[in-house]
Structure 1
Amino acid sequence: MQYFKLSIAFTVFLISSILFAEDGHHAKNVAIRFPAKLGDMTYKGVIKYAKPGGFSVRYQDASQFRIDIYIYDGNKPNIGSGIDSKVLKNEFASVLLVFPYMEKLGHYKDVKIVDKGQKKVGETAFLWAQYSFEQINKGGGNYLGKKISDTYIVGRKNYFIKLRMTMKKEDAAKKKKVKDKFLKDLGYLLLEGN
C-alpha cells in the first residue's frame, strides 16, 4: 500500500512538472498556476515590481500579439473578489486613463475607446474596455503601428487581476480565435484556483 501511495505521488509530481514546466509561474497569492502554454500563446516570463507593484506574466506569439496579466494590490484594502467593489471600479476608471496619458506623452496617437462594459472569461465576469491607437516611435521600440488593446480587470482574494491584450489592428480579425481560446483556457484556470 505504501508503495502504491508513493507511486501515485510520484506520478502526480511528474505530470505537474510536465504541465507546469519551469517556463510557467505559480501565483500563490491568487491561487493560479500559469502554464508554459495558455491557449495558443507561449509564456514569456514574469516581471516582479517593487511594492506595491505586484507582478505580471506575459504570453506572446510570433505576430506581436501579446497578453500581459498583472496581479497586484496597489496597497488598497477591500478589493475583494469579483467586479462589484468600489475599490475595483475606481481602479478600472484609473486604468482607462493610461491610454490617453500615453497619447499626451507622445507615445500613442489617435487614441479612441471602442467599447467598454462587462465580459465573461469562463464563468468569471470582468470589467472590460477596448481601445484603438497608433504606437509611434518616441523612444524606439519594436511594437510600432496601429493597435487594438483590450483591458480586463477583476478582483480575486483582495488582489487585482488585470489582463491587457494588445495586437496589430490588421491582425484583429484573424487573431479572434487565438484570443478566444486564450480567454477560455484562462477561464478554466480561474475556476481551478478557487
Structure 2
Amino acid sequence: MGYRRRVASLESTDGQGYTDRLKNVQGPLWKRVLDVQRPYRWNVRRLFDEREVLDVGCGIGRNLGHLAPHGVGVDHNAHSVQHCRDLGLTAFTTAEFGDTEYAKPGRFGGLLAAHLVEHMPRPQAVEILRGYLEYVASGGLVVLICPQERGYASDSTHVAYTDLDGLADVCAQLGLTVQESKSFPLPRAAGKLFTYNEFVVAATKA
C-alpha cells in the first residue's frame, strides 16, 4: 500500500504546543497507576536486549525511559528534548547530535524509530533514517513502529499511513533484512478500534 497524505492543515510537531500535547496524552495519573506502558516497555526491552539504542524521534522520552540506561534520543523538537533532559534522560536535538560523543560510526547496537515514519512522506522518512544508520553497528537491530488505523486517525500531524508492508518497504530501501513483523499488543483486527495497537517491524543491518 502506498502512503496516504492528509489534505487538512497539519499541526506543527516542532513547537512547545506539540510537546505539551504529548505530555497531556502520556501523563494522566490513571495511566501511571495502571502502568499502561508495561506491555510496550516489555516489548522494547525484549527486542533490544540491553543493546545501546539510538532513539530517532524520541519525543518526550517514553521509549527512552523504557530503554534506560541504554538509550540516547534525538528529536527535532527542542522543547521535547529539554523535557527528556529534565527527566534525566540523554537526548539531543537533531542540530546538536552530530557534535556529540555519540555520533560515531557503529556506536550503537540498535536504532528505534517509534511513531516517526507516519509523520512524513515515506521518501523523507527513508532519507532521515538513512542519515542515522551509519551510527548503527553491522548486525545491529533497527525497530520501526507505526500506529494502526485508529491511532493514525487520532493525530492530525500524521501524514503517511504505514502498515507492515509499508515498513517492510522502508527496510528494503535502507538495505535492512526484516527479522520480525507483527501487530502489537493485540491482534491486527484490533487496530481499527484500539488507538494504541501498533505495527512493529524489527530488521538487521548488514
Is the TM value for this pair above 0.5?
Answer: no
Q: Give TM-score scaled by structure 2 length.
A: 0.28
